[in-house]
Structures are given as structure tokens and as C-alpha cells.
Structure 1
């Protein structure tokens, strides 16, 4: 009778999970570096593995396909770009904090977020990227729509405001500012611009009481 091997201990499972997470971070970082360096069309699973110091087999095992890897990269690079938002209730102030924090974060933008903006721009002409970034942009717009709806309910946003229109405008504005910063950082004064843009939306959306 063949003995059944013991189940992995809790600590062993945790160590395995930590290794998987460490591998994923290394691979996504390598992918982002390649996107920034050479563009998405030059990125392959083999090149990612080589840059990260892993075999292509490990990259394939981790993601399966290049499309799945790009999806993971899009999610990883967008997450946490503006810290502290999760602690704020939906509403106008949260949206203004998002705008201010997004523009302010450009000064310290790292390779992961650079890759996201470059991939977003390329998605307009890359069929493998378009569905990924449509989903990411819709999540971004939904977040802003929630803030506008909450602002209307609490009386800080004018009731005639179209949440859909504002969401499209804000996402386009922030992404566009980000791309301009990547192209010519000296042309984008983030310190001044964050105040100007936040102030514009406060004046445009706010309820002006006598």
C-alpha cells in the first residue's frame, strides 16, 4: 500500500504563495521595462523571462499567453497610483483628491505607470490591447460617476451635472496630461497644474450658494 504524502503545512503553502508573488512581480516589472524601452510589439514571453532571469516556461506557466500577461500588467500598473482614496467616502472631494493626486504623482512616476500610459495610448491601434484598456477605462469612469452621483445626493455637485460626461472628460484629461508629461516633462508644471485642474472642476461642478 502506497502511503499518502502529507499535505503541505500552512507555512509551506505560505512560502509557495510568496514565491509565486515574487515571481509575478519580477516578471511584470520586466514586462513594463520592455514596454517602456521598446514598445509593446517587441515584448514576448521569452524576452520577459530573459530580462527577469527566468525561463520562458516559467513565464508561460505564470500567465499562459501574452494577452493574459498584458492584462495582469494593466491591472498591476493602475492599482494604487493615487494612495489614500479608499479611505475617502464617494463625493466631490474624493474626485478632486483623485485629480490632484494623479497629476502630483506624475513627478515620481515609475516604470510600471509609464508602461500603463504607453500601453493605453497604443491600445487605440492594437487589437490585443483594446479590450483590456476599454475595461480599465470603464472602471475608472465608473469610479468618477460614483463620486458625481454621491456629490449630487449630498448637495455639493449641481443636480444638472451629467456624471457620464464628467467621467469621460476627467479620464481623458488625466490620461492626456500623463502622456504629455512622458513626452516632455519640462512642459508640464505639475505643482501649478494640479491646483488649476482641481480648481476648474470645483468651480464647474460645485453648487454655488448665495
Structure 2
């Protein structure tokens, strides 16, 4: 079934649902076709609406990109812990493999943005915001467990997590990813003992 046939078979969206549907469509287009193909027409086709509706809701392509990033982050950042705010190391990263399986478009969209920022420096603030958001969520979760780790160590832990997520998204080896995440939690536990 083509994208046009798929869009035609979808029920009409109510006004309040349109913006969210457009953001989800933008994430899917960016993930599947790359950011260079993230156009009003492509998003509208994916969402099954007129392309003027995309312009109406977002005004500019940059605004669409920024809001699509925030939409994808709102869905993926909470997966840092299975029990947010608990500081429980056993819960940390527990849902990562499942997140990659359930949110592949959101994560692929984020990686597409990261890679495109190498070619288009004007996108780097978006990438910096993405990394700051994830690292701050990780730092906050660690602080809930009374782990006082410096920013460089949090950056290191997030870089390891980011690499594991990328590999899981690319090659889907959940057992290996889970084993590596267990070692990452052990490292954090050891660092936590040293910081107290």
C-alpha cells in the first residue's frame, strides 16, 4: 500500500489531534527519509492532510523541526529509568531495549538530526539541546539516588548509553545490550560508593 493509499484510508483528524499527528508524521518522515526530505508536502502526505495545514501549524520548517524534536524527546527521555525519580540503579536503563523497539522512529529521527548537523551547522543548537536534555535527565535521576557525580562523568555514562541505543537501533541485539547496561549500572554503583 502506498503512502497516498495509506493516508486516504485513515480517519479524518479532529482539530486537537492534527498538531500531534503532524509531529508524529514529521518524525516518521525524518527517520525514514532523512531530514533533507522533511518538507511540508512529505509531512502532509504522511499525515494524510493538505500541505497548507503543516504551514498553518508550524509556520517554518525550522519550527516544525524543533517541535518534532521536542515531541520525540518527550517520548524517549522518560525511558532513562523504569521508576523515574526513585534514584534506583536497578531501574536505571531498565526500559532502554523496549524503548528502542517501541520508538524506533523517534530515535532514528534524533540520530538523523545529529548526522545532518555535521553537514548543516545551523542544526547544531538542536543537537546540543537534545544531548543536554538527555544528560540532565540522567543527572537528575542519579541525584535522586544521592549520587553526586560531576558533569564529565555523567557525559561519559550518557555517551555509553547513546552508543548502546544506536547499536540496538541498528543491529537489534537485545541480550547484548541488556548485558552491557548491567555493566553500566555496576560502574555507576562503584562511582557512587567512591563519591560518598
With normalisation by structure 2, the TM-score equals 0.76
Q: Name the residue aligned to 1:167.
A: 154
Question: Residues 96 and 201 of structure 1 are in contact (CA less than 8 Å); yes or no, is this contact kept in structure 2?
Answer: no
Name which of structure 1's ranges 69-78 and 179-188 shifts more when overlaid on structure 2: 179-188
- Correspondence 1:49 to 2:44: yes
Question: Residues 27 and 52 of structure 1 are in contact (CA less than 8 Å); yes or no, is this contact kept in structure 2?
Answer: yes
Q: Deviations over 1:155-190 (max 9, x none)?
A: xx3x6x42x112211222222222222222248723
Unaligned runs of 5+ in 2: 1-12
Unaligned runs of 5+ in 1: 1-17
Counterpart secondary structure, 1:22: helix
Q: Counterparts of 1:84 and 1:142 in 2: how far apart (Å)?
A: 11
Counterpart secondary structure, 2:179: helix
Larger CA Rg, structure 1 vs 2: 1
Instruction: State the Cα distance separating 1:197 from its structure 2 match.
Output: 1.9
With normalisation by structure 1, the TM-score equals 0.71
Instruction: State the Cα distance separating 1:196 from its structure 2 match.
Output: 2.1
Q: Counterparts of 1:117 and 1:68 in 2: how far apart (Å)?
A: 18
Question: Residues 26 and 38 of structure 2 are in contact (CA less than 8 Å); yes or no, is this contact kept in structure 1?
Answer: yes
Relative distance call for 1:26 and 1:205 in structure 2 (3 A) is same
Counterpart secondary structure, 1:206: helix
Which runs of structure 2 are paired with 1:185-200 in the superposition (5 Å)? Answer: 185-186=172-173, 189-200=176-187
Aligned residues: CA RMSD: 3.0
Relative distance call for 1:22 and 1:208 in structure 2 (3 A) is closer
70, 78, 86: which one aligns with 2:73: 78
Relative distance call for 1:185 and 1:69 in structure 2 (3 A) is same
Q: Name the residue aligned to 1:68.
A: 63
Instruction: State the Cα distance separating 1:149 from its structure 2 match.
Output: 4.5
Q: Counterparts of 2:73 and 2:179 in 1: how far apart (Å)?
A: 24
